[in-house]
Amino acid sequence: MESLSVALGVPLPTLKLLGTIVLAYPVAFLYRFLFLHPINSPKAESQRNLYIVLTGLGLSLFFSGRDIIHSFITISVTWGTCYVFNRQRGVAVILCFLFNLGYLLGGYYSNSLEVYDITWTMPQCILCLRMIGMAWDFYDGRQVHKERITSVTESNKSQAESEAKPAVQVTRPPSKAPVSFTNTALVTLPSFLEVLGYSYFFGAFLIGPQFSFTLYKRFINLEHLPKNGHFIPHGSYTRALRCLAVGAFYLAIQQLIGAHYPVSYMTTEEFGELSFLRRFIYMWISGKFVLNKYLGVWTLNEGSGALCGISFNEYTATGTPRWDGLANVDLFKYETATSLSNIIASFNMNTNNWSKLYIFKRMRFMGNKHISTFATLFFLAIWHGVHIGYFVCFATEFIDMMAEQAGSRIMAPYVNWMYTTDEKSAKVWAYRKAHQLFTWFLTTTALYYAIIPFELLQLKASLVAWKQLYFFGTIAVLGLIVFDMVRAQLTPKKRRAQKME
């Protein structure tokens, strides 16, 4: 592969990454041909799982080589901990959390402190979340088990009374949770071989996406498909081809254009000699392509999930099958985002869903949404690596979200009418589009400014780059937050003065 790497001008680790993702397509197609239909055998589920284990191990070995041992150790220790502490699941989840995060950080520390490298730590960071999530689900299953016992006891007591009453069908509203994290609790610990299949699943072990073990279990026994696999909805081939084409397009643009706008250039004296307008434009383009490569690889990776069938996500309101169950990015929503909330909802979606379920919601006992948000972002910063740039980036994003909320409060009296009026004139339409364009520009600018330390990693280099931009992003958001606080203090005084008049 080294000669191909030189010919394409792509680093060997990057080429192996892309090669592993592309190889998942024929693996997924073969799985579809062999297993994505009912099999008249009591071992059908085990056969599907074994295929996934063997192919996943093969792809992992291709990418990581001997370093595959790290993932095997992690899986074994996590499963063993849950097995030993089956009756003390609170202890199990704490130990699994500390072990997986600690092992990952040890890998980061031993590999590199100066630059980001594509090594075994890439799939390890995916596995870290997967194992922590499984441990939490195992813990949650304890409560489900208790509820089942209570339900059976109460049912036996009231059986005579219920038989005398007319039957009533109790229905629940559909779950708002994404298909990747629906009904996640594990009453019993899965077998070690099943956990291996879940961990090494060929379409998600390398760069994600995250999903629960319960989805994997439904996948290998065909429960996630209509009529338990007797019917495969149309559209999966189209989705897979679309992911392949769009992902390749984004990566090609990255290679042809993005490679000419490295963030590191913003730390040079030559960059500082440019006019501020040219520096700003460079920052904007450079920031765009920092994130562009993630859009490309996630979209490319999504195709194998659609091809093998795990991405089936029920139907739209019009009856069209959806194959976006494991989509990690909503490209249209991301590219047209007019708020950071839109960015969060459309970028690295399954990791964000994972963080919401296993970190944010677990912090409810704090009783403060800002603390929960900060804790979630702090965890994500640690999860990304030991570089200080990650912490600076996520801290900046936290402040940016506060500033966005402040800006919304300030502008509400001036813009709300555009979206509440019944008037359908061209003037209202133009005002609305102008406002959306303005907020899109502010959102992307804030995002690309914050992403600089994420890419440079080192604090000194990040401060040099920000200094050459006059710290405009930092000053603007802090100024907006302070202005909103002062305005909030003065507004009640104005109202009291008006009432006295």
The set of catalytic residues is 348, 384
Closest CA to 484 of 401, 407, 395, 412: 407
Give the N- to C-terminal CA distance of the chain in Å, as an integer: 81
Closest CA to 334 of 422, 419, 246: 246
- CA-CA distance, 260 to 84, in Å (whole number)? 53
Alpha helix stretches (DSSP H) within 36-166: 44-64, 68-84, 89-111, 121-157, 159-163
- CA-CA distance, 377 to 474, in Å (whole number)? 18
Q: How far is CA 351 from CA 127, 186, 217, 269, in A?
A: 12, 20, 20, 38
In 163-173, which positions are buried (b, 16+ CB within 10 angstroms) versus exposed (e)?
eeeeeeeeeee
All residues at 6 or more sequence positions from 395 whose CB lies less than 8 Å from its CB, including other chains: 377, 381
Tokens of 453: 């330390």
- CA-CA distance, 78 to 105, in Å (whole number)? 16
Q: How far is CA 224 from CA 33, 49, 285, in A?
A: 17, 15, 41
Classify residue 341 by its DSSP letter: H
CB-based burial label for 321 (10 Å; 0-12, 13-18, 19+): middle
